[in-house]
A = this chain, B = another copy of it.
Amino acid sequence: MDQPPREISIPTLADVARRAAVSTATVSRCLNSPDQVGKKTRERVMQAVADLGYAPNFGARALAAKHTNTFGAIIPTMENSVFARGIQAFQEELGRHGKTLLIASSAYQEALEEEQVRALVARGADALLLIGFHRDPKLYEFLKSRSVPCLIAWSYDEQLKQTAIGFDNAGAMAALAKLVFQQGHRHVACITAPIASNDRARDRVLGVQRAMKAAGLNPKDLHLTQTPYGIENGETALRKTLAEAPETTAVMCVNDVLAIGALRAAKELGLRVPQDISITGFDDIEIAMLAEPALTTVHVPHHEMGRRAAGMLIQMVKHTEPVQSVELPTDIRLRQSLGPAAS
């Protein structure tokens, strides 16, 4: 048996092929689909691999040198700090690993998000953090074709193949709705962001309906108002809800921003919260606690999600081992905006 030659340069696939007297395609097959290659050829190739000290991940290392150490994140909005805390933790953890974060804000517009994905890839982003699963499958294919790993945050769904870190939006909202029904509420309305392009909002509405069913109510009776994100839109939505369904005693909003708007509208209408009407949110952003009365809401582990997302995405860029999706627990913050149903 020959001694391994003293190579100065890193051995290539072609070196292995030459040494084993086979084509590079055969070497590649031996490494990737060994059962498609005859035993004798395979042994000769693997011996050459061993002799030369060839390692397929030399290629990965060469690729690594091309990394820009710039990561991208696209969030739906910069307003009201909904994503600020999570993204800040994401950035801090990336910073500890020498990565710089560039952020884009899609204003909840799918077409704009797509443009921003393409811009970040064109500008050399090593990897992307995206919020929620819902987007054109072609965009996922585009990222795959460019070898840019992408991690989904703020959502978790074991049915979907995208790697994600998030929480069970439907389950968390169902847990809060259960408490609402336990307080005697039978006429519940929901104020939501448009559900067609927002899987988080859609799942939260489904959560309310699931809890209705469990409480012996008909999920079809849920009064639903869809409105774009924003405090003023939450105000308008509450007025609309109460005009259409005056029997409502509790309004569950799919996020804190809409809930803060609903709180304001209730006060303007002379309604006491929670004596006359209960209002709940989702996210537990800073203003949830500052509101008067303070908002009962679902607490999302923003900081942990952001920090762990960074670690996962760094692993995904390294390609060392498959990265498993992570489901984080949420919990309910019971404050003053939820009370017993007015009799």
Which residues of the other chain, B, contact A72 by a CB distance below 8 angstroms?
Answer: 102
Establish whether residues B81 and A286, one from each chain, have CB atoms under 8 Å apart when the complex forms.
Answer: no
Known interface pairs A286-B231, A287-B287. Does A119 touch B102 (Cβ–Cβ under 8 Å)?
A: yes
Which stretch in A103-111, A169-177, A327-335 binds the other chain? Answer: A103-111
Shortest Cβ distance from A214 into chain B, in angstroms? 35
Establish whether residues A290 and B260, one from each chain, have CB atoms under 8 Å apart when the complex forms.
Answer: yes
Known interface pairs A95-B112, A102-B123, A264-B290. Does A107 touch B79 (Cβ–Cβ under 8 Å)?
A: no
Which residues of the other chain, B, contact A70 by a CB distance below 8 angstroms?
Answer: 119, 122-123
Establish whether residues A84 and B95, one from each chain, have CB atoms under 8 Å apart when the complex forms.
Answer: no
Establish whether residues A84 and B78, one from each chain, have CB atoms under 8 Å apart when the complex forms.
Answer: yes
From A72, which residue of chain B is reached at the shortest CB distance?
B102
Residue A292 at the B interface, CB < 8 A? yes
Residue A340 at the B interface, CB < 8 A? no
Complex interface bits, A248-271 against B, C-beta within 8 A gives 1, otherwise 0: 000000000000100010000000
From A84, which residue of chain B is reached at the shortest CB distance?
B78
Shortest Cβ distance from A124 into chain B, in angstroms? 6
The residue from B81, B95, B123, B260 contacting A124, defined by CB atoms under 8 A apart: B123
Which residues of the other chain, B, contact A88 by a CB distance below 8 angstroms?
Answer: 78-79, 105, 107
Q: Spell out A's residues near B (CB within 8 Å).
A: 68, 70, 72, 77-81, 83-85, 87-88, 91-92, 95, 100-105, 107, 112, 115-116, 119-120, 122-125, 231, 260, 264, 286-287, 290-292
14 contacting pairs across A/B (C-beta < 8 A) = A68-B119, A68-B122, A68-B123, A78-B81, A78-B83, A80-B81, A80-B84, A100-B104, A101-B105, A102-B103, A102-B104, A102-B120, A287-B287, A287-B290
